[in-house]
Chains A and B, each alone.
Chain A
Amino acid sequence: MSHGVPRVSSKRDDERDRKSIDDYQALVQQVNAQMQAQEYTSDTLALTSRLLSINPEFYTAWNHRRKLLSHLMATSAAPGVDLITADLAFLIPLLKLYPKCYWLWNYRIWLLEQAELYAPKEALAIWRGELALVAHMLTRDERNFHGWGYRRRVVMAVERLEGTSLAEEELVYTGAAIRRALQNFSAFHYRSKLLGRVLDERGATDAQRRRVFDNELDISQEALVDPFNQSAWFYHQFLMRCVVEQTILRLTTAEKAAYFESEMARVEEMLEDYDDCKWIYQALLQYAMEFHKLRPEAVACSKLQSWLSHLRRLDPLRAGRWADLETTL
């Protein structure tokens, strides 16, 4: 699949193509022949390195490499840890060149799992080292889906091997990522998953939970300095849902209503500077419906109608959705 391959001259160099094809096919054939003959040697391993550097999407060659490495680790005199760290190093330039290659990340996780078998003493340090690598990868592309997934995977492994929780550390990590880029959806998402865990692990009292929660509301409001920031709205909506669903807080109905009242006031205030931002009207309508369940007649019907008409004007692409919404008001 070619994602974002820009308009370039399509004039091909037939001569060069033919040469590349011949070399490539010869290499593939050689690797296949040596695998077939079960030549599980460092020479075959080097051939797969060459092949995979040309084409990291060649998933079968990653499987060859797994077989080769397993064999070498089980039989060679060299300590397993040397083979594993050498292979981890081999992957680094490839990950930088092809950060979205699924097979590459997948292979790296397999490799790290082998550390637990063949280098049990060093395994934890090796997994820990991955946290620094992935942090580096995520500063290069802070929304890389594979990168964030990989980070969660590494954290799980470290937690398992250490028998501790990294939730506090990770919460700090997301805070820093959000401060670097207030539009970092991935970081806000991760934070939404960590918050409840951190509070449980701290054994937080109701009052302590409230304090943490209020601070999170402030973080999302700060990010909403730009009310077009969808990531910040995601987080604010998540928090308002926590109020309703009592997942991380314990509140009376009056306290819940008070949260809606004050947050809606803060959101409504944004209209003074941004009366053309559809996200504000959308949030107001959504919160008003929740608020209504807590305190009937809390928001005047005329207000709802006015917000909805602004929304329709500002967001005509989703006219069908707003028409459906009108029937539920």
Chain B
Amino acid sequence: MSLVAGPGRGGALSSGPSPQQLHTNAHIRYIQTLDKRRDEFEYWLTEHLRLNGLYWGLTALHLLGKPDALPRAEVLDFVLSCLHESGGMGAAPGHDAHMLYTVSGVQILALVDGFEELEARVPGWKEKIAKSVIAGLQDPATGTFFGDQYGEPDTRFLYGALNALSLLGRLDFVDVPRAVTYIKSCANPDGGYGNSPGAESHSGQIFTCLAALSIADRLDTVDMEHLAGWLSERQVSEGEGKGGLNGRPEKKEDVCYSWWVLSSLAMLNRVHWIDGKALESFILRCQDPEHGGISDRPGDMVDVFHTVFGLAGLSLLKFPGLEEVDPVYCLPRSVTRKVLGK
């Protein structure tokens, strides 16, 4: 799955079809052809996002109602090719294992219902990945998680760990209460969360913290009114990006925040605190009606990352024709229902 930007640009041309409709078929074709762009330099420069890209593309296709639009056997083979002896996964063959990719790999396996099959091909895989890889990255002193043996801890990795472990049914391998305590230490007076204690609130980190607390069933620890208020202020009231959401105060609107902010509001049952119609219109304006794909804001190049988060945002807004998305996992609700049994 290529992470190359373009070829299309978001923002409908005046002569094109109405921008206020969802160009489902164009998006499907766009995602299907992403991996055929090996003649572009950027395809190779973005190899470090390949496995994430496959997860983003596949989730987008599921939401668009075309879960089989990528060949399942190739998807499984690719995931397997990213798997290391240790049990962790890298971005692509030849790339080191890291939490970010291991989690994407597990999510892809959930999407294609491939846990059993991988177990048959690599016996003991599930136990290894849950125990020695993911659980091994928890910091026993603080409860947070590292991404690999070198880097700094981050609540992104903490969320990734709880996400993947819950999908694998092995949350018991880590100290969940300690992880919850750590998240609480990242809370700010504005109700939001940073990536570590003392860090500024940021929509992306708020999503990871709320989703981790949801998995741990500890949303009761959240300063709900302040946080939902802060999140609702992320909707931009004026200018070209009216209706779009930003990540922090006084920053520009961006389609990916349609996901980080809106899913957070959904977890707090406060989606109605922003104007859904205005957001919907903003996301639709970021589509390329002809070549497919969604960009960060109208006029910019499209990419698969903004495509999936734009579609997931529309799904949370109950846009007709889209599959329901799970705000905690960014996976189709039908998939999480099946895997988690709830």
Contacts and interface: CB of A to CB of B under 8 A. Distances in A.
Contact of B199 (A5, A149, A237): A149
Nearest to A183: B250
Nearest to B4: A2
A59 interface: yes
Chain B, interface SS category: loop
B195 A149 contact: yes
Interface residues of B, number: 64
B190 A3 contact: no
Contacts of B235: 317-318
Contact of B151 (A60, A106, A193): A106
B7 A10 contact: yes
Nearest to A194: B198
B90 interface: yes
Give the 9 A-B CB pairs with smallest separation, nearest first: A320-B272, A2-B5, A321-B273, A317-B275, A230-B249, A1-B305, A5-B301, A20-B41, A189-B200
Contacts of B39: 14, 17-18, 21
B299 A7 contact: yes
A100 interface: no
B6 interface: yes
User: Which of under 10, 10 to 19, 20 to 34, or 35 or more describes the interface residues of A?
Assistant: 35 or more
A284 B101 CA distance: 47
Contacts of A230: 233, 249-250
B40 A12 contact: yes
A92 to B, nearest CB: 20
Contact of A186 (B44, B200, B274): B200
B248 A185 contact: yes
17 contacts: A3-B296, A5-B6, A7-B11, A17-B40, A58-B48, A60-B96, A63-B148, A110-B150, A145-B200, A149-B195, A185-B200, A192-B188, A230-B249, A317-B275, A318-B233, A318-B275, A320-B274
B250 A152 contact: no
A63 B150 contact: yes
Contacts of B6: 2, 5, 10
A55 B189 CA distance: 38
A186 B49 CA distance: 29
A314 to B, nearest CB: 9
Contacts of B272: 320-321
Contacts of B139: none
Interface in B120-171: 148, 150-152
Interface of B: 3, 5-7, 9, 11, 39-41, 44-49, 90-91, 94-96, 98, 148, 150-152, 188-190, 195-196, 198-202, 228-229, 232-233, 235, 237, 243, 248-252, 254, 256, 270, 272-275, 278, 295-297, 299-301, 303, 305-306
Contact of B196 (A60, A149, A192): A149
B249 A231 contact: yes
Contacts of A66: 150
Given A319-B275, A320-B273, A234 B41 contact: no
Contacts of B201: 189
B300 A2 contact: yes
B152 A317 contact: no
A57 interface: yes
A112 B143 CA distance: 24
Contacts of B196: 149
B126 to A, nearest CB: 25
A237 B190 contact: yes
A93 interface: no
A55 B46 CA distance: 9
A185 B94 contact: no
A21 B44 contact: yes
A24 B273 contact: no
B275 A24 contact: no
A4 B151 contact: no
Interface in A283-305: none
Name which of B7, B189, B278 has the most chain A CB atoms within 10 A of its CB.
B189
Interface in A162-206: 183, 185-186, 189-190, 192-193
A71 to B, nearest CB: 15
A190 B196 CA distance: 13
Q: Which of A2, A17, A238 has the most CB of B within 10 A?
A: A2
A110 B305 CA distance: 29
A185 B300 CA distance: 27
Contacts of A319: 275
Contact of B229 (A57, A60, A321): A321
Contacts of A231: 249-250
Give the residue among B48, B94, B270 with the most A Cβ atoms within 10 A: B48
A193 B229 CA distance: 21
A148 B200 contact: yes
B96 A63 contact: yes
Interface string A128-167: 0000000000000001010011001100000000000000
A255 interface: no
A309 interface: no
A57 B48 contact: yes
Contacts of B299: 6-7
A329 B248 CA distance: 28
Nearest to A321: B273
A2 B305 CA distance: 8
Given A3-B296, A319-B275, 8 more contacts: A2-B306, A4-B296, A20-B41, A63-B150, A185-B250, A189-B201, A241-B189, A321-B232
